[in-house]
Structure 1
Amino acid sequence: MGAFQDLGCRTTHCNSEVLQRCTLVFLATKPHLLPGVLQEIAPAVTRDHIIVSVAAGVTLQTLQQLLPAGTKVLRVMPNLPCVVQEGAVVVARGSCAGEQEAALLRSLLSACGLCEETPESYLDIHTGLSGSGVAYVYLFAEALADGAVKMGMPSALANKIAAQTLLGAAKMILETGEHPAKLRSNVCTPGGTTIHALHELEKGALRATVMNAVEAATMRARELGER
């Protein structure tokens, strides 16, 4: 709380006081704590409020059941790179939240990076793709740099170049709008270095392994949401 006070933010230990002072309210508790918080704030929630949950696994249906009828509720699923304003955030709205509320949220969260509105069913997939996916990329970046270290490049330089390689490749996907397969093909010359390297990745089943990882994380997110 002290860190927020240092930034000039008003802080309080009373959740209901937040509702009295703010119309747009983010719920960023652990999922198992959220029902208790909702029960506490429900008497203070009006139709003017916009309630945004960042809690994983707590469905819009559950949120709407625990809040007064007609409450405008949305769910948000961010990922770690939001801290450097390069995150990937998805937004899903409840039955009483309209385009105006969704547009306001997208506008605010676009400062964190990419922000897209999706059906709620995509939120668990987003966890498998992007929430957990950040870790897959870190693992790949580590392996990429380790390969360069094996061939004689200093570790610090290899890590920096690996990171820039990932950043540049991602930026090209976003800015060109090309399918990744097309961009990959553009790098390959007949009999060249890249196609030889890609052959090794295919022998190691990189593509299938990554797809399996996304599936495993998505299924685990769904399991946690059903508890």
Structure 2
Amino acid sequence: MENSKLSIYYKILGISEGAPASEIRSHYLELCKKYHPDKLQNESAEKQKEAEEHFRLINEAYEILSSINKAGFDYKSKPDTSDMEARDIGRAYFIKGIHFYKEGDINNALDAFVNAYRKDNSKPEYIRYVIKCLLTKERRLHEAKEYCLKLLKIEFYNAENFYLMGLIYKNANLIEAASEYFHKAKRMGFNNNLVDIQLNEIEPKSFKKKIKKIFKKST
């Protein structure tokens, strides 16, 4: 990343170049309080949009400068921050994707989340949202499964990931596999209400009663 761009980040936070970590964080928190979108809900749509963009830039500046500071880089030595720049771009794509997702624009949300993942494939939340978008597309369930397998490799302990795999199998009408993943998610502590809704759809009550009778007879 060029020093000219780093200079812009320092200006965004209103601090001098090479400022210590304490000063970077202090100014960042002050600006967050001032420009947080939630504080401008009564303003015009245009002002809210400006605030959101300013807030994004504040977070971008803080992420880059704090990363450089933690790594012990000398600002004047032209550090190689290409990896940090990629992560930052990935984050920007992700924020953009969330905006589209909340608006119901799944196609643009999916494009943004995929780009976020390509820039930084270490973030599980990027993959999760790719999967959530692909779940709305019946013909792309195979892609959703591939992404979910990647997700489980890097975040095996997260119950939501098993729930998502259950949804994929359910949408593909592979009920036994779906049931297995939903029960796994439930055992791991995922939202019981959500899991139960899915299980009630694929495991009729009459079937559950039969299972209970079998277990009673066996005991």
Do both share a fold (TM > 0.5)?
no
Q: Which of the two has higher C-alpha Rg?
A: 2
So what's the TM-score if we normalise by structure 1?
A: 0.24
The structure where strand makes up a greater share of residues is 1
So what's the TM-score if we normalise by structure 2?
A: 0.25
